[in-house]
Amino acid sequence: METLGAFSLLLALCLAAYALLASVIGGWKQKPFLVESARRATYGVFLMLTAASAILVYALITSDFRFSYVAERSNRAMPMVYKFAAWWGGQEGSLLLWSWMLSLYSAIVVWTNRARHRNLMPWVMAVLAFTQTFFCLLNVFVEPPFQMLAVGRGVTSVVDGNGLNPLLQYWLMAIHPPALYLGFVGFVVPFAFAFASLLKREPGEAWIATTRRWSLVTWGFLSVGIMLGQGWAYAVLGWGGYWGWDPVENASLLPWITGTAFLHSVMMQEKKGMMKVWNMVLISATYFLCIFGTFLTRSGIVSSVHAFAQSSLGSWFVGFLAISISITTFLILRRLDYLKSESHLESVLSRESSFLFNNLLLLASCFAVLWGTLFPVLTEALMGEKITVGAPFFNKVNIPIGLALLLLTGVGPLIAWRRSSWESLKRAFRWPVLAMGLTIALLLAFGVRHFYALVSLGLCAFVAATVVMEFYKGARSIAVKNQMNFLRATVELTHRNTRRYGGYLVHMGIVLMFIGYTGSAFNKDTTEEVKIGSHFTVGSYQLHVKEVTDGSNPNYSWQRAVIAVHRNGQYLGDLKPERRVYAASQQPTSEVAIRRRLNEDLYLNFASMSQTDPEAAIIQAYVFPLVSWIWIGFYVLLFGTIVCLIPSKVKYAYPRTQVVGVYERQPEPAQ
């Protein structure tokens, strides 16, 4: 079976390399039979990698410890879902997952475009095959997943494995990595179409129309992956945080930032023929940052709870990135005449300028995060001393940028295309500004004095009012005109222009997440050594440690603290945080207990029993205000993304040569 798996990987590499050569030669020499053979080779790569993945997964599920990877990442007592998740729990398996997902994306792209874009598809396939060949090389020669354990000469067969890292044995980790990889891998598709369009000087924005849903789906998967990672960190690591500006966390955030900028900027090219160079640079940067994030996770050059061990992959990734960036940069510079804008910015007080400022702020944030992530690596390489950049740096730089972006989220819909008059701006901004002022006044009345919290919550009110206004005005018009109730009119409005109103829902999700993030300004925490039967307090909660119990199952042994929760004399129930020690690895972990409410979470971590008093437990207790709104905002964001993917009921055209006589805020065509 291991021979069949290794042969499948080798054959996948050969087919990927053939697809690359055949598509390049076929596109260059106009040889349709070569292009068709490259297409079929792409399907073959998918079949071979599917076979290899199936063999590895079968070995994990059946606990075939002859495989080195299975012995290192699995054990018999692990639940079945974590045996399957061990596929991406190690270096070799996760690279195989990356390659398999890329082959799946490539096969779908080739199949769905088999009768379209005949001028572009050879070069689209070439980009996909080039990336596929690189990852197959890693699978075959650098990190092969089908290495077998040596048995003989006194070495007996392995009875049981080491097991998956206990930190990964949590249900979110069965979803988070695949979702993140679907985002990382997926951005190769719009990049491939952009590269092909640039190479062939394809007229118009055909590549944008073709990849619009690809980009949005990929961005959605990346968003899901990042948010699930935050949920995992919050529930598993035991310190209550959901984002620590860890290098690997930053690596996933970087392509999300540039991808967000691209999704906004591309609308300018569609409607106005502007920002073409921006879009090429943004989609290229997003693709390269996805590869860079994969490199950062696997090379061992940064220390992270999320990263894999030190490996020899670094030089391979550096070489691939150097070649890819050089070719793309050269091509963009050679095609600057093709990327000329068809119109120009007419006024700072216009929606076009809000998109431009939005992009500038997003790129400033991206640069700050990238610089802070690489600074320790650069100082170590240049000075021989690693200077660590911590969370305070990232917060100091990105909080103001984030608040400015939040402001633009509310300002954009209120400003007209081309140019706005002061009178129209006064009318548009009246209610959102009033909502912001009232919110800040109420917060001040209730004793809130934290500057960033006041600004953030005020801006959240501003953006929320803008979104509500946009829905209300459109739905009211439809309800009156068609004699229907307001709820049905809102659905009808959204269905008429799903991109616009789905985008507003995404913005509302961002607002709710900002509310949750702002709550961190009011966190409370305490660490107490508490005798069993004693009490302690955190915030307004009184906590009574009733008992500590223990037990075991085949996978781990546990100690559980039973803590009664009271507030203002009222009993609210018991929380039961645990300490676990996994049998295979003897690694201890925490299983926190959380009382989730809309206003705040009570979060308890059972750190250990006291070293000096065997009857005392060390309990870490936290109160996290508003944190649940982060997860609520995520669901709203996800729903909005899905709405954006639904075809609009009415198709709209946006003529680029439209002449506007009076520069007032023009009504959108959605009503």
Per-residue pLDDT tens over the stretch 623-645: 999 999 999 999 999 999 999 99
Q: What is the pLDDT of residue 670?
A: 41
Q: What is the predicted pLDDT for the residue at 302?
A: 67
| Res. 575: pLDDT tops 60 | yes
Higher pLDDT, 590 or 575: 575
Each residue's pLDDT tens digit, 417-426: 777 677 777 8
pLDDT in tens, 165-213: 898 899 988 899 999 999 999 999 999 999 999 999 887 677 888 888 9
Sign of CA dihedral 545, 549, 553, 558: positive
Whether residue 434 is predicted with pLDDT greater than 60 in this model: the reply is yes
Is residue 43, in this structure, part of any structural domain at all? yes
Residue among 235, 129, 109, 218 nearest 172 (CA):
235
> Do both 510 and 553 map to the same domain?
no
Burial category of 322 from C-beta neighbours within 10 Å (exposed 0-12, middle 13-18, buried 19 and up): exposed
pLDDT at 149: 86
Are 437 and 408 part of one and the same domain?
no
Predicted pLDDT of residue 420? 67
Question: Which residues sit opposite 582 in a β-bridge?
Answer: 556
Mean pLDDT is lowest, of 119-128, 252-261, 290-299, for: 290-299
Q: How far is CA 97 from the centre of its chain?
A: 17
Judge if 139 and 234 occupy the same domain.
Answer: no
Does residue 186 lie in a domain region?
A: yes
DSSP string, 197-258: HHHHT--TTHHHHHHHHHHHHHHHHHHHHHHHHHHHHHHHSSS--S----HHHHHHHHHHHH
663 domain-assigned: no
C-alpha–C-alpha distance, residues 327 and 198, integer Å: 12
Domain with 530, as residue range(s), is 523-625
Instruction: Indicate the residue type of 162.
Output: N
Tokens of 458: 């005020």
**224 assigned to some structural domain:** yes
* Tens digit of each residue's pLDDT (9 = 90 or more) over 478-515: 999 998 999 999 999 999 999 999 999 999 999 999 99
Q: Are 82 and 208 contained in the same domain?
A: no
Locate tokens 């709550």: which residue? Answer: 519
pLDDT for res 304:
58
The per-residue pLDDT for 349 is 72
pLDDT at 156 over 70: no
Cα distances (Å, whole numbers) of residue 535 to 530, 538, 541, 566, 617: 7, 10, 10, 10, 12
* pLDDT higher than threshold 90 for residue 577: yes
pLDDT tier at 151, thresholds 50, 70, 90? low
Name the token pair of 153: 């000469």
* Residue 513 near residue 637 (C-beta atoms within 8 A): yes
Calpha distance 462→114 (Å, rounded): 47
Give residue 671's pLDDT: 36
| Tokens representing residue 560 in the block | 């559980």
**Mean pLDDT, rounded, of the chain:** 90
Instruction: Compute CA distances 221 → 117, 157, 185, 218, 610, whole Å.
Output: 26, 41, 10, 5, 43
Based on the domain organization, do 369 and 498 belong to the same domain?
Answer: no
Given 416, 433, 451, the domain boundary residue is 416
Task: Give the span between the Cα atoms of 229 and 305, in whole angstroms.
Answer: 12
Q: ∠ CA 293-245-402 to the nearest 5 degrees?
A: 100
- CATH code for the domain in which residue 558 is found: 2.60.98
Look at residues 416, 443, 466 and tell me which one is the last residue of a structural domain: 416
For 47-99, the pLDDT digits (tens) are 999 999 999 999 999 999 999 999 999 999 999 999 999 999 899 999 999 99
On whether both 220 and 86 belong to a single domain, the answer is no
Amino acid letter, 199: L
513 and 529 in a common domain:
no
Indicate whether 22 belongs to any domain. Answer: yes
Residues 201 and 214 reside in one and the same domain: yes
Q: Could you tell me the end-to-end alpha-carbon distance of the chain, in angstroms, rounded to an integer? A: 61
590 Cβ neighbours under 8 A, 6+ residues apart? 236, 237, 238, 577, 578, 579, 580, 605, 606, 607
Q: What is the pLDDT of residues 127-148, one digit of tens each?
A: 999 999 999 999 999 999 999 9
369-428 residue pLDDT tens: 999 999 988 888 788 787 888 889 999 999 999 999 999 999 988 887 777 677 777 888
Does 585 lie in the same domain as 505?
Answer: no
515-551: per-residue pLDDT in tens? Answer: 999 999 999 999 999 999 999 999 999 999 999 999 9
End position of a domain, from candidates 396, 416, 436:
416
Q: Please tell me whether residues 174 and 286 are part of one structural domain.
A: yes
Q: What is the mean pLDDT of residues 327-354?
A: 84
Joined tokens for residue 456: 């953030």
Q: How far apart are CA 81 and CA 93, in angstroms?
A: 15
For the chain, give the longest Cα–Cα distance.
90
Q: What is the pLDDT of residue 668?
A: 43
The share of the chain scoring above pLDDT 70, in percent, equals 93
* Structural domain count, the chain: 4
Task: Tell whether 124 and 221 lie within a shared domain.
Answer: no
3-state secondary structure 508-521: HHHHHHHHHHHHHH
pLDDT at position 289 over 60:
yes
- DSSP codes joined into one string, 476-523: HHHHHHHT--HHHHHHHHHHHTHHHHHHHHHHHHHHHHHHHHHGGGG-
Spatial neighbors of 199 by CB under 8 A, at least 6 apart, are 123, 331
| Residue 479 resides in a domain | yes
Whether 668 maps to a domain, the answer reads no
Indicate the pLDDT class of residue 344, thresholds 50, 70 and 90: confident
Residues 605 and 596: beta-carbon distance below 8 Å: no
Overall residue count recorded for the chain in this entry? 671
CA distance linking residue 594 with residue 578, whole number of Å: 12
Q: Has residue 661 been placed in a domain?
A: no
- Which pLDDT belongs to residue 154? 47
CB of 555 closer than 8 Å to CB of 578: no
pTM beyond 0.85: the answer is yes
Please give the backbone phi and psi of residue 474, each rounded to the nearest 5 degrees, phi first.
Answer: -65, -45
Based on the domain organization, do 274 and 214 belong to the same domain? Answer: yes
